[in-house]
Every structure is written in C-alpha cells, then in structure tokens.
Amino acid sequence: MRYFTVESFSFDEPGHWSGEYRARHRWHLSGVDCPRYGIWSGLSAFPSVDLSAVDEPVLANPKGPTSLEEYNRLVALVRPFVPPELPVLAGGSFGPMVGTAQGRFGPVTCCPSWELILREDAVELLKAEGLQGIIAVRMELRSRRSTMPALYELEARPLAKLHPDCIGEFKTPACDICGKPESFRLPPKRWLLRSSIPEGLDFFGIKGASPRVVSERFVETVQRLGPSDVHYQELPAAD
C-alpha cells in the first residue's frame, strides 16, 4: 500500500471551492509553563473525545498557559475520558469543532494543514467502501445557507512514526517533569518507519508531527467525488 500526506493549496493557487470555516474544538487544555522548558503547547486534537461529564468550565474557556500544578490537575480530570492509547498533552483539544462556515466545500478540505475535513458524502463513500480508521466527527457549524452539507473532521490518531534517519539529530528530549514528549522540527524530506505503519488503516496521524496520512485507497475513493483543493504528496516508507 502507498501512503500520502494531504496538503492544502498554496494561497495563490486557484481552487475549485470557496468554503471556509471558523471553528474551534469544544474543550481545550491550555499550554503549560514547565520549570525546565518554559511554556509549550501542542496541536493534538481528538474530536471523538467527549468531556461533557467533566465539571470544569476552564476546559471550555481556557485562559492561556497555566502552572504545572494546575496543568496536572486538569490532565487528571481529562485522562479518564481519553482512550489510553491517546496522549493527553498541553494545547490538546477535544470534542467536535464548533463555529461557523460559509461557501462551498469540496470532498476533502485541509486548511490549516493539521485539520482534515470531509464533506458528508465523502464520509459515506469511505465507509461504504469499507475503508478503515475513518473516525469522522460531525462539526457543529452555523451557516447562512440552509443547504450546506454537513462537514466532518477526521480524527488523526498519532500511530505512525517518521523514520529516525529523516528526523536526524535535531530533537528535543522528552521532559519527565511535565510529560512533554520528545519533539523535533518537521524535516523537509521525510519518510515513515515501515514497522510503525498501522496496517490496514486508511487514515492516521504521525507521532510528534502534524501531517495527516491517507492510503492510496483513500485517495482513489474520494477522487470519485470530483476535485478537492488539496495535494497528495507520496510519503515513502523504509525499514
């Protein structure tokens, strides 16, 4: 199976679609001020996680970076509601995206690059064709147009790893004080560590990196619905 990352058009590239949304996830963990590394915050988002049972209003209205003590308190509140294989990290967001949308959307939208949005018919087709790893969460969007099709965010679980050879030595080690994972700058030329590819899945994320990965089967299936304003860039794999 071949794999691809999904990339948005550059700003001067003419697209087919006018759709834009302005939305954010329902719950957020703030950044944390770590005594060792200072303030940091990531971009992980797990829209399928429901935190409505957590009685803590600050998750819906985060106030900016917090102390380590407050951060640990919030992580402990959130952790029981997140599947154990998923990380709970500073800057992480949960629940459906809520906001507004306008214009017309193609089958696949990827702007910003760390959010992959599908039109309703794309979700239905991927499921009907039996693709795996499609965790699609309906966005709660208000629109002036009553006929706007529903949009879904795909949850990218960080399952695969970039190959250590393409990351090189520019890594920041993990922090045992605040739980910050090892981090690195996204290398311009990159490939996957083959043994880390979740076999059989048609959509997944990468540990420590924002690009979303789709299978060749995913690309072929959504292209049947017509053009999308995205590029698919092949992501090779090596042992």
Cα-trace Rg, the chain: 18
Q: What is the dihedral of CA 227, 203, 86, 8, to 10 degrees?
A: -30
Number of shown-chain residues binding Zn ion (CB under 5 A): 7
Q: CB 196 → Zn ion: shortest distance, Å?
A: 25
Smallest distance from Zn ion to CB 181, Å: 10
Mask for 123-162, x = binds Zn ion (CB under 5 A)? ----------------------------------------
Residue 83 CB, shortest distance to Zn ion, in Å, is: 24
**Per-residue mark of binding to Zn ion, 165-204 (x: CB under 5 A):** ----------x-xx-x------------------------
Q: How far apart are CA 218 and CA 76, in angstroms?
A: 36
CB of 73 to Zn ion, least distance (A): 16
Backbone angles phi, psi at 85, to 5 degrees: -80, -5
Contact (CB, 8 A) for 107 and 34: no
CA–CA dist 163, 186 (Å, integer): 12
Instruction: Give yes or no for a contact between 167 and 184, defined as CB atoms under 8 angstroms apart.
Output: yes
Cβ closest to Zn ion, residue 9 vs residue 37? 37
* Residue 34 interacting with Zn ion (CB under 5 A): yes
Q: Minimum CB separation from Zn ion for residue 72, in Å?
A: 11
**Beta bridge mates, 171:** 184
Binding site for Zn ion (CB under 5 A): 34, 36-37, 175, 177-178, 180
